[in-house]
C-alpha cells in the first residue's frame, strides 16, 4: 500500500476516526498504520489519545481495544468504536424494533459455561446446567460466539471455546478480563436457606 496516498492528508486522528467509523469489526493498529502510511507506534499512541479524549469529553461513543482472532489468548487486539454503556437505554430503545435478536436465558447460561470452562464438551455443559444444551450450542455456533476446538482425549467428544467475535461483542481484550464469578455466587448460608 505504500506510496498510494498522494497530496496532503487530514491530521492523523481525523484519518483514524474516518476509518474507524466504517469498519464492521475491530482493526489492528498495524493495518491502520499501513493504510495511513504512518509508523505503528505513532498510530497506537494516537488511538490511545483518541480513546482518552472521548472519555474526557463524555462522548456518546468510546474507542475500545478488544481481542480479535480465534478467541484464544493470542493477545491480538484491534480497535473499534462502541456506544458508551451509559447510553445503552437510548440505544436499546432505538434497536428494540426487532432488528437485533437477543440471546435467550438458556443461551446466555450456556455461553457463560463455555466462556469460563473452555475448552469444554457439550456433555459437560449439559451436566453443569442440568439440562440438554445441544440446541442452544447449535444456536451459539451459528451466531459465531463459540467454535469447535478439538476433541476430548478420553472420550473423543468435541470441545468448544468462545471466539474472537465473542470477545468483540463483550468488549474484552482477552478472556482474562472476564469478571470473577466468586462475588456472584450465593454463600453457603443462602444455599441452606433455599433448601
CA atoms within 13 A on the CB side of 69: 13
CA atoms within 13 A on the CB side of 33: 14
Q: How far apart are CA 91 and CA 102, in angstroms?
A: 14
Task: Could you list the beta-strand ranges (E) of 93-178.
Answer: 120-121, 146-151, 158-162
pLDDT for 9: 84
> Phi then psi for 113, rounded to 5 degrees?
-60, -45
pLDDT for 101: 65
Cell numbers standing for residue 46: 494516537
Q: How far apart are CA 21 and CA 36, in angstroms?
A: 15
User: What tens digit of pLDDT does each residue of 31-56 get?
Assistant: 999 999 999 999 999 999 999 999 99
pLDDT for 18: 93
Q: Which residue do the cell numbers 467509523 mark?
A: 21
Q: How far apart are CA 93 and CA 113, in angstroms?
A: 29
Residue ranges of the chain with per-residue pLDDT less than 70: 1-6, 69-74, 95-101, 182-195
pLDDT for 22: 87
User: What tens digit of pLDDT does each residue of 104-131 get?
Assistant: 888 999 999 999 999 999 999 988 888 8
pLDDT for 191: 52
Amino acid at each position: 500500500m505504500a506510496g498510494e496516498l498522494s497530496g496532503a492528508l487530514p491530521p492523523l486522528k481525523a484519518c483514524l476516526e474516518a476509518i474507524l467509523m466504517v469498519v464492521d469489526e475491530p482493526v489492528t493498529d498495524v493495518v491502520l498504520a499501513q493504510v495511513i502510511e504512518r509508523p505503528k507506534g505513532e498510530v497506537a499512541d494516537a488511538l490511545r489519545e483518541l480513546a482518552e479524549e472521548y472519555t474526557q469529553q463524555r462522548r456518546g461513543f468510546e474507542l475500545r481495544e478488544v481481542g480479535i482472532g480465534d478467541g484464544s489468548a493470542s493477545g491480538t487486539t484491534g480497535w473499534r468504536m462502541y456506544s458508551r454503556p451509559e447510553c445503552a437505554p437510548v440505544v436499546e430503545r432505538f434497536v428494540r424494533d426487532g432488528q437485533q435478536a437477543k440471546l435467550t436465558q438458556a443461551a446466555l447460561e450456556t455461553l457463560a459455561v463455555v466462556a469460563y470452562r473452555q475448552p469444554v464438551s457439550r456433555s459437560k455443559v449439559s451436566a453443569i446446567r442440568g439440562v440438554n444444551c445441544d440446541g442452544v450450542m447449535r444456536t451459539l455456533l451459528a451466531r459465531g460466539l463459540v467454535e469447535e476446538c478439538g476433541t476430548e482425549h478420553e472420550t473423543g467428544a468435541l470441545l468448544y471455546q468462545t471466539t474472537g467475535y465473542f470477545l468483540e461483542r463483550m468488549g474484552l481484550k482477552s478472556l482474562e478480563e472476564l469478571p470473577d464469578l466468586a462475588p456472584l455466587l450465593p454463600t453457603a448460608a443462602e444455599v441452606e436457606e433455599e433448601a
